Amino acid sequence: MTTASPIPEPADRIASVEMVDVKALNTREPGALYKKREKIFPQRVFGFFRNVKWATMTVALVIYYWTPWLRWDRGPGAPDQAVLIDIPGRRFYFFFIEIWPQEVYYITGILIIAALALFLLTAVAGRVWCGYACPQTVWVDLFLVVERFVEGDRNARMRLDKGPWTLNKLAKRTAKHSVWLAIAVLTGGAWVFYFADAPTLFIDLVTLRADEIAYVTVAVLTATTYILGGFAREQVCTYMCPWPRIQSAMIDEDSLIVSCQNQRGEPRGHGAVGGGKREGLGDCISCNQCVVVCPMGIDIRNGMQLECISCALCVDACNGVMDKIGKPRSLIGYNTMNLSSPLEVTVAAAGDDTLLAEIVRLTAVAEQTKAAYVRLADRAAQIYAPAVHLLALSGFLGWWLLGGLAWQPSLLIAVAVLIITCPCALGLAVPVVQVVASGLAMGRGVLVKSGDGFERLAQVDTLVFDKTGTLTYGRPELVNGDEISTEALALAASLAAGSRHPVCQAVVRAAGTVSAQLAVQETPGMGLEFDGQRLGNRTWCGVGAADAADVEDGNSELWFAQPGRAPIRFALRDQIKADAVEVIGNLQKQGWHIEIVSGDRAAVVGPVAQALNISSWRADCRPDEKVAHLQGLAAAGRKVAMIGDGMNDAPALAAAHASLSPARAADVAQAAADFVFQGEGLAPVATTLTLARQVRRLILQKFSLALFYNLAAVPLALAGFVTPLIAAIAMSSSSLLVTLNALRLHLGRLP
């Protein structure tokens, strides 16, 4: 009788998976712009996508190395190489096709079609070109095959790399690099075979009778193949190649990308899987197999990343793990942005009745003043083109009809006028400075969202700060939890879980794991409501004077009101940011007027204002009251910058002359802001303000430079002292000078 094998227990299934302690190279924490390369040792993986890569690599290498040796009979006197670029004969042969120089538009058309096809492929299937067919990927895969064959798989290669130099290590490294060099030489040699008869050139190369240019080309391609395939590897894709940035702009919500279904995999852990008890854990067991097989060294669970080349090796690795632990495949896979099953949505309000619609209305009204802002460059450009053409026409007619010149030299003078006038200096004045400034800001953790944000921020003389999450850390802690029953805390937390407001999140943290009430309605500046229960400020919860007596302790508060029960107060305390006193003090010394406008109570806002030495502050402000206050400041002649992070700050951020929001802010606040800054402190605010003033000063300098150049150059051209060639040199030089002048921003000192 045959005995069936026992089904492995969940714990045994997890034990069958290798757990790897590895850190992804690109973490979410901010790092240095330039850092030393960390070696990546990709682990071998088996699966469908790995087999596709093997097949693609084999086909690509066979085509590249074998094509120059293919023959094609074209008749007497014609070369018989199937694919030949005959530079001396000015011909390109491709099997039965022969292209002459005047037919280069065929090649141009083919290249355009190929580019459009690549764009379409990217929009549909993401970066599959990078993951499978890019020459860098193909040759790196080939070099990795050699490396694994000589030195072993990941763990063996890591031990060899970290170990001391021995005869065994020397022998393996010598063998590996010898094969790499041989591949590199063959790669360079195959390339030159496309430009001459392959058998003849091969004999000439071996017998040292080939032209010098052939040896130079082989040497250069040998060196680049050896370095890029053996050493640079992922660095080429991350830093040298522009295609990842271009492809990122082609991908939308319908594109297939390699992604992780975090809603299924989270929370991660080594708990029981398969048929065992889930213990609140997701399907991801944190084995890190998806990281160790990645040739780029990234963790796809962190979301879509620039470094990801969509090779899908992490998909093969994860599918193998899911098979072992008895879970469905495709925890990681090719997906569109919507990674889950169809959603069931209950519509509580539609169209103009929604909260979002109300915020959009407030934001749109506030942004109308921004739409009327016209840059100086645009105003100048409106009259530039007609003025220049009229000058050129006047010069032509004046010299021809009045100056006695023939029409040909008169036309040259007109052409010189058209050339020497420098629209580039004028047109580049704003965008070049903004590009440089945006790069500097990004390096300091500030994202520039508005094209004219720097110009408007440079005009600001008043800074209005929100309190919670802006001047404070926005992570208040419940300080009277011992006075609140467990039941009341859990009920309040179930309402608070539906909001991103810091005080609501503090209640959720104090309660621990709770089930969120999905039908909660939030009123900005007031609070939350569900089934007759309210969580919010005193007014919203109907707290009377008797209930709120003797509670002015300087803490922020939430009130929880239930029908038929006495309201419960949640006292919360937040900490002022560590650098707030220094940053606010420095800004005041530099001449900015600073105010606080907060929705919190006066008893909470006052101490913060006093600690920061801010004399002007307002409390208990609803979103519309914040907007009204900013409009009042604007009516008084002030240019106001708003710095806030909450949903109820969004209309004020839009109403301000310029606005900044932290990266942890609500999405609607970030959408309304001109700048979004990272980090816990306020230093990026001071940096952005200083940079904005430098940008304005530099833009005015560039306008002055462009104006001076045109006032000096155009009369010389009209007088006939400038030829078209000299005009072209002068125009190019002025554009170059304007561009170089923008780089002076790097020399400025930023706080």
Pairing of β 556-561 and β 568-573: antiparallel
Half-sphere exposure of 211 (CA within 13 A, CB side): 8
Give the separation between CA 471 and CA 584, rounded to whole angstroms: 10
Written as one letter, the residue type at 525 is G
Query: Would you give the distance in Å from CA 90 to the centre of its chain?
Result: 45
CA dist 583 and 683 (Å) reads 6
Length of the chain: 751
Burial of 343 (0-12, 13-18, 19+ CB in 10 A): exposed
- What's the rounded Cα separation, in Å, for the pair 234 and 54? 19
Residues 6 or more apart whose CB falls under 8 angstroms from that of 68 comprise 81, 83, 190, 193, 194, 198
Between CA 526 and CA 676 the distance in angstroms is 25
Distance of CA 517 to CAs 406, 530, 565, Å? 87, 8, 20
* C-alpha–C-alpha distance, residues 626 and 525, integer Å: 11
Q: How far apart are CA 593 and CA 596, in angstroms?
A: 11
Q: Is 466 a catalytic residue?
A: yes
Q: Which two tokens stand for residue 327?
A: 């879970």
Burial of 338: CB neighbours in 10 Å, binned 0-12, 13-18, 19+: exposed
Distance CA 521, CA 519 (A): 6
How far apart, in whole angstroms, are the C-alpha atoms of residue 697 and residue 577? 31
Three-state secondary-structure class, residue 287 = coil
The string of DSSP letters for 300-337 reads GGG---TT-----HHHHHHHHHHHHHT--S-SEEEE-S
Residues 6 or more apart from 310 whose CB is under 8 A from it?
125, 126, 127, 128, 130, 131, 257, 258
Catalytic residue among 141, 283, 466, 574: 466
Which one-letter DSSP state was computed for residue 81? B
Q: The tokens of 436 are what? A: 């440089």
Those residues with Cβ within 8 angstroms of residue 406's Cβ, 6 or more apart along the chain or in another chain? 400
- CA–CA separation, 96 and 668 (whole Å): 61
Active site residues: 466
